[in-house]
């Protein structure tokens, strides 16, 4: 009996040792794991910007931890913008729970169909709000849904863009293409430059879309875009390849045209591009690529030269501001610029001043950093340069035109920068 008791005891002891030394932990009772400091990320099963005809649709996503946590992690989801109503037009969970010991969990965004005739609605949804506990960082995702209603004779147009360059924020997180710039989407008359805007669309976030309705007159229309704003990447400029996509119920499914390098963030203040021509005939539509600057272009060599009178106006007429007295002689420098000799502000110091034409924007402005050779007491040399409000010209008419420029910040002896405009009139 004693021998049997000893054997039984030894067997139990061995079992205790086996289970006590097992690397697995069921995260109950006394755990052997310590609290981790994982990062949180979001993976979408769909592009972050969606334009869709109102229908019952679902969009799945996954929230991920970089390593398991000993406690459950709750990830919050909320609508952060848009005109669509949660619970009526769409539905999102308020949170997703990643169980203790797991590294991921899945969720679903649902879009609902209804029988109401409505304007386009949008929903901006953020997955991972930054309120999550037990994580070191939350790399959230913001998704946009443009929910459109249209009938058989209408056509839906989507404008999306991408950059060949990759950009990141200060934390090293990638910047989505739609966040590089906020673009405006126009439907206009067929002229260069266009002068009638039949439709204008500018969603605050994400790509742009709208429904071109059957009730609009038959004819040809231009699809045009320009910047509302753009990210500043510290001197690194981004080309934007822009795509226009058409969808019509039962007729056109995903027909698109793409214009490479349609816009560049370096030209945020002035660039406008005609992307495509849309032709409507009854309930039939077609689209063709255009890809032209929405301006008149720049002058030919040999024009905008000769003798001119000058008159200068500036933004602070009551203070110390720039001006030129004429007449002057404009010289074609053969490189797209023109120059003239002039005495800035009548100090008796004649310099050669240069201005140039920008074919991308169809504008004219001073070349940056031109020194006057003058300075305020104890200050730096006064320089003249380009203006953010560049002037536009008709390249076929050099009888009269205006050029803008700006003094540098310190040039007004303590005052702010002054914007000036010189009007040249041919003699």
**Cβ atoms 36, 69 nearer than 8 A:** yes
The encoded tokens of residue 38 equal: 């994982």
pLDDT value at 285 more than 90: yes
Domain boundaries, the chain: 31-149, 150-294, 306-426
The encoded tokens of residue 347 equal: 């100090």
Residue burial 95-114, b: 16+ Cβ < 10 Å; e: rest: ebebebbeeebebebebbee
237: buried, middle or exposed (CB in 10 Å: 19+, 13-18, 0-12)?
A: middle
pLDDT value at 18 more than 90: no
Sign of CA dihedral 238, 240, 241, 247: positive
88: left (phi over 0), alpha (psi -120 to 50) or beta: alpha
Indicate the class that CATH gives domain 306-426: mainly beta
pLDDT value of position 146: 80
382: buried, middle or exposed (CB in 10 Å: 19+, 13-18, 0-12)?
A: buried
Mean pLDDT of 289-310: 93
pLDDT value of position 6: 39
Residue 121: CB atoms within 10 A of its CB come to 18
232: buried, middle or exposed (CB in 10 Å: 19+, 13-18, 0-12)?
A: exposed
253: buried, middle or exposed (CB in 10 Å: 19+, 13-18, 0-12)?
A: exposed
pLDDT tens figures, 183-206: 999 999 999 989 888 888 876 667
Indicate the class that CATH gives domain 31-149: mainly beta
Confidence of residue 21 (pLDDT cuts 50, 70, 90): very low
In percent, how much of the chain has pLDDT > 70? Answer: 84
The gap from C-alpha 81 to its chain's centroid, in whole angstroms, comes to 17
DSSP string covering 135-180, please? -SEEE-EEEEEEEE---TT-EEEEEEEE-SS--B-TTSPBPPHHHH
Residue 278 parent element (H or E): strand 272-281
Choose between 42 and 179: higher pLDDT: 42
DSSP for residue 30: S
Mean pLDDT of 109-116: 78
Rounded to 5 degrees, φ, ψ at 289 are -70, 145
pLDDT value of position 54: 66
pTM, entire model: 0.65
Confidence of residue 341 (pLDDT cuts 50, 70, 90): very high
Residue 216: CB atoms within 10 A of its CB come to 16
pLDDT value of position 28: 46
pLDDT value of position 179: 85
The gap from C-alpha 334 to its chain's centroid, in whole angstroms, comes to 36
In percent, how much of the chain has pLDDT > 90? Answer: 40
Confidence of residue 413 (pLDDT cuts 50, 70, 90): low
Architecture of 150-294 per CATH? Sandwich (2.60)
pLDDT value of position 390: 83
Ranges 310-314, 315-319, 328-332, 389-393: which has the least confidence: 315-319
pLDDT tens figures, 204-235: 667 888 888 888 999 999 999 999 998 887 77
**Cβ contacts of 232 within 8 Å, gap of 6 or more:** none
pLDDT tens figures, 360-382: 988 898 998 898 888 877 777 88
């Amino acid at each position: 009996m004693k021998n049997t008791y000893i054997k039984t005891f030894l067997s139990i002891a061995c079992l205790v040792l086996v289970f006590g030394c097992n690397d697995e932990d069921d995260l109950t009772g006394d755990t052997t794991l310590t609290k981790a400091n994982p990062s949180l990320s979001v993976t979408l099963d769909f592009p972050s910007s969606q334009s869709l005809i109102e229908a019952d649709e679902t969009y799945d996503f996954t929230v991920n931890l970089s390593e398991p946590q000993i406690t459950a992690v709750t990830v919050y989801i909320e609508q952060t913008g848009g005109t669509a109503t949660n619970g009526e037009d769409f539905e999102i969970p308020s949170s997703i729970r990643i169980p203790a010991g797991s590294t991921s969990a899945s969720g679903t965004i649902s879009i609902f169909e209804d029988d109401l005739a409505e304007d386009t609605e949008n929903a901006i949804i953020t997955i991972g709000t930054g309120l999550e506990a037990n994580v070191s960082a939350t790399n959230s995702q913001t998704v946009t849904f443009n929910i459109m209603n249209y009938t058989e004779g209408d056509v839906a147009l989507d404008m999306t863009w991408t950059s060949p360059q990759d950009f990141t924020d200060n934390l090293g997180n990638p910047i989505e293409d739609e966040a590089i710039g906020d673009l405006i989407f126009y439907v206009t008359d067929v002229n260069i430059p266009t002068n009638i805007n039949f439709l204008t669309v500018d969603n605050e976030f994400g790509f742009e879309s709208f429904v071109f309705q059957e009730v609009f007159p038959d004819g040809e229309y231009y699809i045009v875009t320009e910047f509302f704003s753009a990210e500043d990447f510290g001197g690194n400029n981004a080309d934007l390849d822009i795509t226009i996509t058409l969808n019509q119920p039962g007729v056109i499914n995903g027909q698109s045209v793409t214009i490479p390098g349609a816009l560049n963030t370096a030209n945020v203040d002035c660039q406008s591009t005609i992307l495509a021509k849309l032709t409507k005939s009854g309930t039939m539509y077609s689209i063709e690529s255009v890809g032209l600057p929405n301006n008149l272009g720049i002058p030919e060599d040999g024009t905008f030269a000769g003798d001119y009178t000058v008159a200068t106006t500036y933004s602070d007429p009551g203070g110390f501001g720039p001006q030129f007295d004429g007449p002057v002689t404009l010289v074609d420098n053969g490189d797209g610029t023109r120059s003239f000799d002039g005495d800035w502000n009548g100090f008796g110091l004649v310099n050669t001043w240069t201005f140039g034409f920008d074919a991308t924007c169809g504008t004219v402005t001073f070349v940056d950093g031109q020194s006057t050779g003058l300075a305020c007491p104890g200050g730096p040399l006064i320089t003249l340069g380009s203006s953010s409000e560049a002037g536009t010209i008709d390249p076929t008419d050099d009888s009269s035109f205006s050029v803008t420029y700006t003094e540098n910040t310190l040039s007004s002896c303590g005052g702010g920068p002054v914007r000036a405009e010189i009007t040249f009139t041919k003699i």
